[in-house]
Chains A and B, each alone.
Chain A
């Protein structure tokens, strides 16, 4: 097992703060190691890597894999599992004794997989420290556990943004998009009075509403969890304001009644055809809105969730290295993973350039946003500078979201928040229920 090889298990005393502080220095110092990493890959030629991914643009994945295999002389067996059912599929393969060497994973599973030794701690691998050091500081804690373990590399990253209809906002007499949650409500109310029945749409289904909990808490200047994963939002009086605002948005008809079950495709159609003025979701959904060529697609632009106000949620999924890979195969697998989630041997963001072109997906590296090939590839109707700025200074990954117990909390969020929105609960009771759900999940008696 990797952690025992380098003497640093998940329970090591080296905490994240220490590690992150040292990463700047380590990043510079590890440049030669990065080069030696390339040598390791060359030495590890003719390895066969088993790579498992979910089915998002499978042809793009195949072309990326083929490019790396051709360059290094290794072979990659790529398995696709549908995104729906991916966790069950990959865990069954782990438990059944046929684990992948490199695999996509949901960020919320990443620390759990390392603690169960299904995924490797990347500390000590050539270039791993440099990879983390080159990330936005705001992004690092998704990949580095509190104890300093590097649990994953980025598959992609995104920020929650507000897609909005410029004409509708202007027609309602506003010169800018909302700078607070209250302003969001006020603008919606005015736009609704102008004849747009449901001005605000968002992906508030049970399975996804947990992301919005963080989006709105951060927008309301509330810290959701502390570094230990304790729900400090409970003690912040602003939490009740956020929850009250959320409930009012639904109860007062700023959203469609069906918003609790509608999927992103429906929201995209809605805003693209002028039936909604605001759509809060990941930045890359602007691409779907524009490319769906609805009657209002050309009027849609992007802004921060609350403009000059609070932060927003930075999300993304990850790639992990199998916990049982060793020796030359491990070197090759890590080289592949590094190319996929960081840079190729020539220092290019080859993989992310491709994702930028085909899906408007981002990488959590400042260098990604200044890469001329990324700038050329990114859709012109998206404000890359705004997105970069959001990554840099106006977003938070909420580190607790990758903790091993977090999925148990996440699973309960949907019902609790929906109860609030449907008027079956109030803000205080909801905050209490969320705290209890968190405590239950942490104690291991949750899902």
Chain B
């Protein structure tokens, strides 16, 4: 019984991924046909070629301009930008992870080890700040970044994403630090270590799994964020670029699928590599 439920759940999760993968190898004229084949009859790499800016009908095809020379009318969207945009996303995500981990580690450690006036309020407020929809915050953040002349730069996203991911990171890391025995710190204190030395030399090495898991989750959140990237930049990162493949009237499913498959490779790899740490970190505190 449990296996059939698990199998059903896995299929449910994998169905959209299979459909996306299958569509990415499907010719535009074959998308949406009935019955939907498990795999396209004559798979094509042209969707990937177009997305990567590789001409599909010889060198005369310039997607977006000489449409008649190309395979189909699908060059209505930005092509040849996916790799560059993924590098942008990676750059933004990496810096957001670094800043978030530095700030959240100090904050989470303080909240875990100290009881100070307002510490509970601070923790609750941190959790509450996750509830506020980004839509409400976008206008003041936009003005703030405009004044700093940071609009349409990676820093616009790095600053705003860091502020959103901090609460999540603080909550996860605080839970993680709560699990680490205080005996280690007391031993370090007896040996004359300062608080910062204790944090750097004793706690952080022990907390590496939690830090990795938090970093991965923060990276994923940064990688997939759409709205702020839409408003604060001109499609600097992957999600707005993918959204550009759709419009109210034009749906470039096959190109979107190919671009999506390429774009999910880094987060999928990252998650697979660090899967064990993520599960451990998220489960920390559940045995209390």
A437 vs B187: C-alpha distance when bound (angstroms): 71
Contact B30 A269 (CB under 8 A): yes
Question: Would you call A96 and B146 a contact (CB within 8 A)?
Answer: yes
Q: Mark A262-286, 1 if CB is under 8 A from B, else 0.
A: 1111100110110100000110000
Contact A288 to B73, CB < 8 A, known contacts A59-B64, A264-B251, A358-B65: yes
Given A60-B64, A63-B65, A265-B32, A83–B231 Cβ distance below 8 Å?
no
For A174, list chain B residues within 8 Å (CB).
none
Q: Is B210 engaged at the interface, CB distance under 8 Å to the other chain?
A: no
Contact B235 A273 (CB under 8 A): no
Dominant secondary structure at the B interface: loop
Give the docked Cα–Cα distance between A60 and B75 (Å).
10
User: Inside 8 A of B63's CB, which chain A residues have their CB?
Assistant: 59
A292-B29 CB under 8 A given contacts A56-B76, A81-B230, A282-B249: yes
Name the distance in Å between A407's Cβ and chain B's nearest Cβ. Answer: 14
B72 at the interface (CB under 8 A from A): yes
Asked whether, in the complex, the Cβ of B64 is within 8 Å of the Cβ of A58, the reply is yes
Across the two chains, which residue of chain B brings its CB closest to A267?
B32
Closest 6 CB pairs of A and B: A59-B64, A96-B142, A83-B247, A266-B32, A82-B243, A55-B244
Q: Which residues of A contact B244 (CB under 8 A)?
A: 55, 58, 80, 82-83
A317 (CB) vs chain B CBs: closest residue: B248
- Residues from chain B with Cβ under 8 Å of A98 in the complex: 142, 146, 151
Residues of chain A within 8 A of B234, CB atoms compared? 79-81
In the docked arrangement, what's the CA distance between A89 and B77, Å?
18
- Chain A contacts of B252 at CB under 8 A? 265
Number of A interface residues in the complex (CB < 8 A): 48
Range of interface residues on B (Cβ < 8 Å) = 35 or more
Select one of A55, A59, A96, A294 contacting B65, CB under 8 A: A59
Does B250 lie within 8 Å of A264, measured CB to CB?
Answer: yes
B29: chain A residues at CB < 8 Å are 269, 272-273, 292-294, 297
1/0 contact string of B60-87 vs chain A (CB within 8 Å):
0011110110001101111000000000
B34 on the A face (CB < 8 A)? yes
Interface residue A389 (Cβ < 8 Å from any Cβ of B):
no
CA distance A397 to B29 in the complex (A): 32
For B86-119 the 0/1 string (1 means CB < 8 A from A) is 0000000000000000000000000000000000
Question: What's the Cα separation between A292 and B63 when bound, in Å?
Answer: 16
B72 touches A207 (CB 8 A): no
A203 to B247: give the CA distance in the assembly, Å.
13
Residues of A contacting B246 in the complex (Cβ-Cβ under 8 angstroms):
82-84
Q: A82-B246, A89-B231 are in contact. List 4 more A-B contacts (CB 8 A).
A: A82-B243, A98-B151, A265-B32, A265-B252
Partner of B34, one of A63, A275, A291, A293: A275
Q: Which of A96, A97, A203, A292 has the most CB of B within 10 A?
A: A96
B250–chain A nearest beta-carbon distance, Å: 7
Closest to A56 in B: B76
CB <8 Å contact, A83 and B34: no
Whole-angstrom CA separation of A208 from B250 in the bound complex:
12
Contacts of A85 in B (CB 8 A): 226-227, 230, 240, 243
Considering only CB atoms, which chain A residue lies closest to B256 in the complex?
A: A265
- What is the CB-to-nearest-CB distance from A415 to chain B, in angstroms, rounded to a whole number? 18
Give the interface of A toward B (CB within 8 A).
54-60, 63, 79-85, 88-89, 92-93, 95-98, 203, 207-208, 262-266, 269-270, 272-273, 275, 281-282, 287-288, 291-294, 297, 357-359
Q: A97 and B251: CB pair below 8 A? A: no
B31 nearest CB across to chain A (Å): 6
Q: Are B75 and A57 in contact (CB under 8 A)?
A: yes
| Residue pair A292, B28 in contact (C-beta under 8 Å) | yes
**B219 contacts chain A at the CB level, 8 A cutoff:** no
In the complex formed, the residue of A with least CB distance to B62 is A59
Q: Are A92 and B139 in contact (CB under 8 A)?
A: yes
Query: A270 near B32 (CB under 8 angstroms)?
Result: yes
Q: Can you report 21 residue pairs joining A to B where beta carbons are below 8 Å apart?
A: A56-B76, A57-B75, A58-B77, A59-B62, A60-B64, A84-B243, A85-B243, A88-B227, A89-B231, A95-B142, A208-B249, A263-B253, A264-B249, A265-B251, A269-B29, A269-B30, A269-B33, A270-B32, A275-B33, A293-B29, A293-B72
Interface hub of B33, B62, B152, B250 (most chain A Cβ within 10 A) = B250
Q: Are A269 and B76 in contact (CB under 8 A)?
A: no
Do A92 and B142 contact each other (CB < 8 Å), given the known contacts A56-B247, A208-B248?
yes
* Whole-angstrom CA separation of A263 from B23 in the bound complex: 15
Chain B residue nearest in CB terms to A281:
B249
Q: Considering only CB atoms, which chain A residue lies closest to B29 in the complex? A: A292
In this assembly, does B138 line the interface, its C-beta being within 8 Å of a C-beta of chain A? Answer: yes
In the complex the two chains form, what is the Cα distance from A358 to B75 in whole Å? Answer: 10
Give Cα distance in the complex from A207 to B146, angstroms: 33
Distance of A60 Cα from B64 Cα, bound (Å)? 6
Complex Cα spacing A256 to B77, Å: 29
Does A93 lie within 8 Å of B231, measured CB to CB?
Answer: yes
Given contacts A83-B244, A269-B31, contact A57 B142 (CB under 8 A): no
CA distance A92 to B138 in the complex (A): 8
Report the bound CA distance from A88 to B226 in whole Å: 12
User: B143 in the interface, Cβ–Cβ < 8 Å?
Assistant: yes
Q: Which residues of B contact A264 (CB under 8 A)?
A: 249-251
